[in-house]
Amino acid sequence: MDLQAELSLLAEADARAAQYLKSINVRPAFPSQQSIKNLDALVGALPQSPSDPKQTLALLDEYGGPATVASNGPNYFGFVIGASLPVAAAAERLAASWDQCASSHVNSPAMAAIEKTAGTWLLDVLDLPKQSGVGFGTSATACGLSCLAIARTGLLERLGWDLSAKGLTGAPEIRVVVPVSVHITIKKALRLLGFGMDRIVYAPVDQNGRVIPDQLPPLNDRTILCLQAGEVNTGEFDPFTNIIPVAKAAGAWVHIDGAFGLWARASRNYNHLTNGVELADSWTTDGHKWLNTPYDSAVAICRDKTLMAKTLNADAVYAQGEEDAQKNLTLEFSRRARGLSFWAALHSLGRDGVEELVDRYCNLATRLAAGCREIGVPVHNRVVLNQVLCALDNEEKTKSFVSAVQASGKVWFGPTVWRGKAAFRLSVSSWKTTEDHIDGLIEEFVRFL
């Protein structure tokens, strides 16, 4: 393919992308059964011979596009998934043409500088310890896994055990304490790291899903304690000021899963919810949730940057990197610069814009909760953040209501289980969602009640 053909292909992709975006506000929030069936056009056997790249692109657009979920629009309220900020999406488009391997300075000086700056800005806007290491990974899952691996290495190091050299056989056992309401991905990370699900210790939580300080299991210098900034159903925060100092005094490592809730720190109206979270040892959060960067972008933050870089080190004789090279702060070796969309979003929004985004989601969630109550849909959480948790008065009604609204295709949100009963979860996390969309969601509810 010559340069002319390459440019023409990219121009066509852009034109198709523009068509898609033009229709995003009126696309079904979830694709029709027919569109899903039409995906058959994409899923046959591996072609033997090459195709015209324009044909490949056309197939994707014509059959893939209609079967997409309109989560890049304003009417999607599922899974804390938001539309992508245009500046972050555009920056990624530009970066795709650069195609940088962002492992270290020597691989890409531009990406190294941009991600380093994104890290500094992130610590600033989230008001976390300035000396922390910041690794941009794929997801809160992967970044959580990194942080938990660092936590274990760090605790064992303090106990005089070199995990990198000696491995786990014969090592002092590290216990993990998590809230009963812990997110499934923390459990996945712990399982992969070999902690053993049967050995996890659960901390009881209150009716809001928050750890109860008085009932915290015993902690010591062989304990990793995971807490949450933003419980997945209620959006609530563990009482950090009551717990973290006690855990630290006992010698425990405290990790915070702040996949979406950590962003409350960026707002003067909501940062009180996170008081004390800065005392932890490590934190994870996503860009692709509240900051609305495109998938996949997340971050692992560790107070002890040296320990982080030592645990995740991937220097080779042919690929040496500085301590804060991203390949030494993340799971990946070859990688794209996931910090770039953070950089673009933070540069464009500035501190005020991030605060406004956080406030807007929370205000819209408050409006949504009020609307639900007005039409007789019971709200089961305090709505301290962007999550509204609802359930009708019996489980069957709740389930069929969720299915009926989902099937209408106008809006989408997901079911959940809360305190053993069927419920549903509405997340306001898209910069495109306005008061009108919230009112439209309530109108949809009325149609199906």
Is there binding between residue 236 and ligand PLP (CB under 6 A)? no
Nearest to 422 by CA among 443, 402, 442, 441: 402
Expressed in angstroms, the distance from the first to the final Cα of the chain is: 56
Nearest to 136 by CA among 335, 275, 310, 351: 335
Tracing tokens 């976390």 back to the chain, one arrives at 128
Is there binding between residue 298 and ligand PLP (CB under 6 A)? yes
* Closer CB to ligand PLP, 80 or 349, in the complex: 80
Is there binding between residue 427 and ligand PLP (CB under 6 A)? no
Structure tokens, 54: 């324009």
Q: Applying CB under 6 A, which part among 23-31, 136-144, 160-168, 412-420 lies near ligand PLP?
A: 136-144
| Residue 184: CB minimum distance to ligand PLP, A | 8
Is there binding between residue 380 and ligand PLP (CB under 6 A)? no
SS3 427: strand
3-state SS of the chain: helix, strand, coil percent to 5? Answer: 45, 15, 40
* Closer CB to ligand PLP, 232 or 243, in the complex: 232
Structure tokens, 437: 């969309």
| Residue 381: CB minimum distance to ligand PLP, A | 14
Nearest to 95 by CA among 303, 298, 316, 293: 293
Site string for ligand PLP, 66-85 (x = CB under 6 A): --------------x-----
Q: Applying CB under 6 A, which part among 8-16, 257-265, 266-274, 318-326 lies near ligand PLP?
A: 257-265
Nearest to 93 by CA among 340, 420, 332: 340
Among 103, 139, 223, 433, binds ligand PLP (CB under 6 A): 139
How many other C-beta atoms can be found within 10 angstroms of the C-beta atom of residue 210?
20
Can you tell me the distance from the alpha carbon of 361 to that of 357, in angstroms, rounded to the nearest whole number?
6
Question: Do the Cβ atoms of 398 and 392 come closer than 8 Å?
Answer: yes
Q: Applying CB under 6 A, which part among 252-260, 266-274, 362-370, 401-409 lies near ligand PLP?
A: 252-260
- Scored b (16 or more CB within 10 A) or e, 250-277 reads eebbbbbbbbbbbbbbbbeebbebbebb
Report which DSSP code applies to 83: P
Among 73, 74, 137, 230, binds ligand PLP (CB under 6 A): 230
Can you tell me the distance from the alpha carbon of 243 to that of 188, in angstroms, rounded to the nearest whole number?
24
Is there binding between residue 387 and ligand PLP (CB under 6 A)? no
Is there binding between residue 355 and ligand PLP (CB under 6 A)? no
Is there binding between residue 257 and ligand PLP (CB under 6 A)? yes
Is there binding between residue 232 and ligand PLP (CB under 6 A)? yes
Q: Count the site residues for ligand PLP by CB under 6 A.
A: 13
Is there binding between residue 114 and ligand PLP (CB under 6 A)? no
Is there binding between residue 259 and ligand PLP (CB under 6 A)? yes
Among 27, 116, 175, 183, binds ligand PLP (CB under 6 A): 183
Is there binding between residue 137 and ligand PLP (CB under 6 A)? no
Question: Do the Cβ atoms of 415 and 404 come closer than 8 Å?
Answer: no
226: which strand partners? 255
Is there binding between residue 264 and ligand PLP (CB under 6 A)? no
| Residue 5: CB minimum distance to ligand PLP, A | 37
Instruction: Compute CA distances 158 → 117, 195, 199, 252, 303, whole Å.
Output: 31, 19, 22, 11, 15
Is there binding between residue 286 and ligand PLP (CB under 6 A)? yes
Is there binding between residue 381 and ligand PLP (CB under 6 A)? no
Is there binding between residue 312 and ligand PLP (CB under 6 A)? no
Is there binding between residue 227 and ligand PLP (CB under 6 A)? no
Is there binding between residue 185 and ligand PLP (CB under 6 A)? yes
* Closer CB to ligand PLP, 125 or 291, in the complex: 291
Q: Applying CB under 6 A, which part among 128-136, 139-147, 211-219, 339-347 lies near ligand PLP?
A: 139-147
Is there binding between residue 233 and ligand PLP (CB under 6 A)? no
Is there binding between residue 140 and ligand PLP (CB under 6 A)? yes
Is there binding between residue 426 and ligand PLP (CB under 6 A)? no
211 Cβ contact partners less than 8 Å away, ≥ 6 residues apart: 179, 203, 204, 205, 227, 238, 239, 243
Instruction: Compute CA distances 373 → 172, 293, 369, whole Å.
Output: 52, 32, 6
Positions touching ligand PLP (CB under 6 A) are 80, 139-141, 183, 185, 230, 232, 257, 259-260, 286, 298
